């Protein structure tokens, strides 16, 4: 599992797509991320902004199937930023 670090201390890559699911709770953040990732090409990077604490556990489960890779998870004041790369 990727370590959660403070905002600004994660991966320095620039996202190609952004998904803001602040204010939404399970299962919406993961379902929307899955939908967004399915429409992206290999090498593209999705930035997901969320505030549901369960996403720290759910996003790695989403990527565990090997088609996507979490590059970083950052947190500040309860808001999370995930960078997920499409690898397959």
Task: Note if 26 is an active site residue.
Answer: yes
**Which has the closest alpha carbon to 19: 88, 83, 86?**
83
Question: Which residue in the list 1, 7, 26, 64 is annotated as catalytic?
Answer: 26
CA angle 27–37–11, rounded 5-degree value: 95
Q: How many CB atoms lie within 10 A of CB 76?
A: 12
Residues marked as catalytic: 26
């Amino acid at each position: 599992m990727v370590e959660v670090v403070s905002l600004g201390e994660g991966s320095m890559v620039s996202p190609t797509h952004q998904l803001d699911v602040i204010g939404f709770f399970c299962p919406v953040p993961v379902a929307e991320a899955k939908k967004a990732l399915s429409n992206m090409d290999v090498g593209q990077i999705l930035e997901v902004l969320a505030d549901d604490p369960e996403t720290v556990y759910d996003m790695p489960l989403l990527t565990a199937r090997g088609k996507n890779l979490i590059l970083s998870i950052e947190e500040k004041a309860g808001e999370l930023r995930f960078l997920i790369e499409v690898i397959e």
